[in-house]
Amino acid sequence: MMVQEKGSQTTEVKVGDIVKGTVEQILPYGAFVRLPTGQKAMIHISELAYEYVKKVEDILQLQQEVEAKVIKIDERGRIDLSLKQLQARVERPRQPRGAPASAGDDFEKKLASFLKASDQKLSDLNRKNKEGSGGKPRGKK
């Protein structure tokens, strides 16, 4: 492999590995982390958390020690990491098991509310029509 010719810069980590590193640089689109092997890896802002992240600094600080999963190594040896893929194990069980049922209840409430408002509008229209239009009669005389 050509990658091995670079000496200490060889890809000693592989996709799927859990690695530790230190945040060295924070940019608007992500953070660069120095691994113990001396390699530099990047965590894209979209891989920081499952929820929306407005700023990288909301999650990471400079010199912070992080543990992340290697999700990609491209042909140039650049390493992409993910924090959120490690969080997945913790967050999945916390999802409410009754979510579909409560969503159904919510839908039923919205539907009932819509039907009530719709019936009210129809009765208002019918009442106005019965009171007369006040204009010229339609059709031929």
Q: Is 140 domain-assigned? A: no
HEC profile of the chain: CCHHHHHHHCCCCCCCCEEEEEEEEEECCEEEEECCCCCEEEEEHHHCCCCCCCCHHHCCCCCCEEEEEEEEECCCCCEEEECHHHHHHHHHHHCCCCHHHHHHHHHHHHHHHHHHHHHHHHHHHHHHHHHCCCCCCCCCC
At 87, the pLDDT band (50, 70, 90 cuts) reads: confident
Residues 118 and 83 in one domain: no
Average pLDDT for the chain = 81
**How many independent structural domains does the chain possess?**
2
Q: Is 134 domain-assigned? A: no
Residues 27 and 69 in one domain: yes
* pTM of the full structure: 0.55
Does residue 92 carry a pLDDT above 50? Answer: no
Q: Is 103 domain-assigned? A: yes
Does residue 2 carry a pLDDT above 60? Answer: no
At 3, the pLDDT band (50, 70, 90 cuts) reads: very low
Q: Is 132 domain-assigned? A: no
Per-residue pLDDT of 15-25, as tens digits, reads 999 999 999 99
Task: Write down the pLDDT at residue 139.
Answer: 64
Residues 10 and 61 in one domain: yes
Range of the domain at 68: 3-94
Pairwise pLDDT comparison (124 vs 25), residue with the higher score: 25
Residues 22 and 85 in one domain: yes
